[in-house]
DNA sequence: CGCAGGGTTGACTAAGTTCAACAGTGGTGG
DNA sequence: CCACCACTGTTGAACTTAGTCAACCCTGCG
């Protein structure tokens, strides 16, 4: 259930700039001088927490990727979010007495920093910047999810998939780490494994993208672009 | 462009308990003693703001319903949220220097309370409860949108529609105000007008629901329930 | 070696979209 | 007051898309 690998020191943490505490001003740094967190690693496929659990922990991802999934009554899964390094998750615990609203699963070997809700709340009372940063992250999250919803609600399967790949890869033209199975893609985009496979196989044949052992390359960005806005 | 109907006094506002300021403790009420807002009304179909506009205003809906819409490149619309009385919207303005991320349109005659971002920010510095309330609203919004996404991603058209109607009506068995056109339903659920119409017409014929001039009744909740979880 | 799991492919089917026609309704102007 | 128009909702038929079911390949692993 996750291997403890040591205490983290927020002040000197290499990913602090990308983390929640990246918002602190020089003068506020003493606030987290003695702040420690637990750093934990998980193997691919391991569950970090389950929907409904009540641990008082909030997480920052340091390395790797994680998926957050919701299940409907019939046990079908919808992936609602993909977590990247620097992202905060489990943050719904900031609502009084709530439990986790997703199941969080590691897509690859990940390193996570655990932060206690209570300690974070103490900190919030001392720094308005932290509150602002939390609000901004939450509001950005709303927008991203609305964007996701818009793609799923409006686009055809190939456009959805093309949109996602472009988002994932960004503007890099080198191979990019791609730890996402066909199944995950399908559950993220509201499709079936087969449709996802058909499109990607087709694009691989026509050379638009290429794949080799968890690495993805977009060879013809323009082609994907035009599919995604068709 | 909205008719100004007077100043609102937050302290004595009838919907304060449901509004953002419902979070204030007795002892904090003096904070808003002299707080005033502009109360404005809009007619059905009027636009309250457009995506990209930069007014420094945040809104609380006092009466009626509003839809928030996003448009994709081809001009197709996805309704991402329906606003009910007491809800806060335009709140993305709390992110530094951002613009509105939706187009807000009145579905019926609405009464809205305009609040300046700057004034709200002043207030945030004086009350941690306000920050907490904003965070909770933002996080709840994330969850609702994720829920919406899950329905759109996983359910078949009839289940989506049934789910929506049940959500809308709640557990009331009396007729409920229903100011939502077939077109809006379709744009909210990621369907076409025709599919929505076919299902509702069918359900009206079989007596599961009934409709008369913007009022909706669910006659057979169990039937809808079983369709929505099929 | 044999097995499990992920990925691919094909044939078929079901679901929903598209296009088109038409009904009902409310509003406008002569 | 009625004729006309615009708009919303409904329905049908043809068509397209994506889902379903099933077979098979490939890879990694015990």
Nucleotide nearest to A199 (CA to C1'): C8
- Which residue in A80, A131, A154 is closest to B146 by CB distance? A80
For chain B, the DSSP string reads --EEEEEEEGGG-TTGGGSGGGG--GGGGGGGTT-EEEEEEE-TT-EEE-TT----EEEEEEES-EEEEEE-TTS-EEEEEEE-TT-EESGGGGSTT----SEEEESSSEEEEEEEHHHHHHHHHH-HHHHHHHHHHHHHHHHHHHHHHHHHHH--HHHHHHHHHHHHHTT--S-EE----HHHHHHHHT--HHHHHHHHHHHHHTTSEEEETTEEEES-HHHHHHHHT-
Contact assignment for B73 to A229 by CB distance below 8 Å? yes
CA angle, residues A30, A31, A34, in degrees to nearest 5: 80
Total residue length of chain A: 230
Q: Mind listing the pLDDT tens digit for each residue in A19-50? A: 999 988 888 888 888 878 899 999 999 999 99
Give A-chain residues touching B135 at CB under 8 angstroms.
94-95, 131, 134-135, 138
Residue keyed to tokens 């809308």:
B168
Tokens for B202, please give them: 């069918």
Q: Mind listing the pLDDT tens digit for each residue in B21-61? A: 988 888 888 888 887 889 999 999 999 999 999 999 999 99
Q: Tell me how close the Cα of A155 comes to any Cα of chain B, in angstroms.
A: 9
Give B-chain residues touching A141 at CB under 8 angstroms.
138, 142
Nucleotide nearest to A192 (CA to C1'): D19
Total residue length of chain B: 230
- What count of CB pairs under 8 Å joins A to B? 115
Integer distance in angstroms from CA B197 to C1' D11?
10
- Which residue in B147, B155, B190 is closest to A153 by CB distance? B190
Is there a contact between A97 and A139 (Cβ–Cβ < 8 Å)? no
Question: pTM score > 0.85 for this model?
Answer: yes
Rounded mean pLDDT, A100-104: 96
Give the span between the Cα atoms of A40 and A111, in whole angstroms.
Answer: 6
3-class state of residue A51 by DSSP: coil
Position A80 scores a pLDDT of 98
Chain D nucleotides covered by protein, CB below 7 Å = 8-13, 17-22
Q: Tell me how close the Cα of B142 comes to any Cα of chain A, in angstroms.
A: 5
Rounded mean pLDDT, A119-144: 94
Predicted confidence band at A210 (pLDDT cuts at 50, 70, 90)? very high
Give the span between the Cα atoms of A12 and B81, in whole angstroms.
Answer: 41
| Beta carbons within 8 Å of A118's beta carbon, 6+ residues apart | A56
Residue keyed to tokens 């979070």:
B23
Position B9 scores a pLDDT of 83
Nearest CA in chain A to B151: A72
Give the span between the Cα atoms of B183 and B196, in whole angstroms.
Answer: 8
Give the span between the Cα atoms of A209 and A228, in whole angstroms.
Answer: 14
- Which residue in B124, B135, B145 is closest to A149 by CB distance? B145
Give B-chain residues touching A74 at CB under 8 angstroms.
229
Contact assignment for A72 to B101 by CB distance below 8 Å? no
Q: Tell me how close the Cα of A92 comes to any Cα of chain B, in angstroms.
A: 6
The overall average pLDDT reported for chain B is 93
Nucleotide nearest to B199 (CA to C1'): D10
A103, A104, A146: which to substitute to probe chain B, counting the most B Cβ within 10 Å?
A: A146
Give A-chain residues touching B91 at CB under 8 angstroms.
139
Q: Is the pLDDT of residue A198 over 90?
A: yes
Give the span between the Cα atoms of A12 and A4, in whole angstroms.
Answer: 19
Position A225 scores a pLDDT of 96
The residue that leads in pLDDT, B26 or A58, is: A58
Residues contacting nucleic strand D by the 7 Å CB criterion are A 156-158, 190-192, 194-195; B 181-183, 193-194, 197-198, 200-202, 204-205
Per-residue pLDDT of chain B (230 residues; tens, 9 = 90+): 688 888 878 888 888 999 999 888 888 888 888 878 899 999 999 999 999 999 999 999 999 999 999 998 888 999 999 999 999 999 999 998 799 999 999 999 999 999 999 999 999 988 889 999 999 999 999 999 999 999 999 999 999 999 999 999 999 889 999 999 999 999 999 999 999 999 999 999 999 999 988 999 999 999 999 999 97
């Amino acid at each position: 259930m996750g291997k403890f690998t040591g205490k983290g020191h927020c002040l000197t943490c290499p990913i602090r700039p990308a983390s929640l505490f990246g918002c602190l001003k020089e003068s506020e740094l003493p606030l987290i001088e003695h702040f420690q967190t637990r750093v934990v690693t998980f193997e691919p496929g391991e569950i970090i927490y389950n929907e409904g659990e009540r641990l008082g922990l909030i997480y920052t991802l340091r390395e790797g990727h994680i998926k957050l999934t919701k299940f409907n009554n019939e046990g079908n899964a919808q992936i609602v979010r993909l977590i990247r390094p620097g992202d905060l998750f489990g943050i719904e615990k900031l609502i009084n007495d709530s439990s986790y609203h997703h199941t969080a699963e590691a897509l690859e070997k990940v390193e996570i920093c655990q932060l206690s809700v209570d300690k974070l709340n103490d900190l919030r009372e001392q720094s308005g910047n932290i509150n602002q940063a939390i609000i901004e992250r939450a509001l950005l999250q709303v927008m991203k999810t609305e964007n996701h919803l818009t793609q799923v609600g409006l686009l055809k399967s190939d456009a959805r998939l093309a949109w996602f790949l472009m988002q994932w890869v960004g503007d890099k033209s080198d191979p990019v780490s791609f730890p996402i199975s066909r199944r995950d893609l399908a559950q993220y985009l509201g499709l079936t494994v087969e449709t996802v496979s058909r499109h990607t196989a087709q694009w691989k044949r026509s050379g638009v993208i290429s794949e080799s052992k968890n690495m993805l390359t977009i060879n013809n960005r323009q082609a994907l672009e035009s599919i995604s806005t068709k």
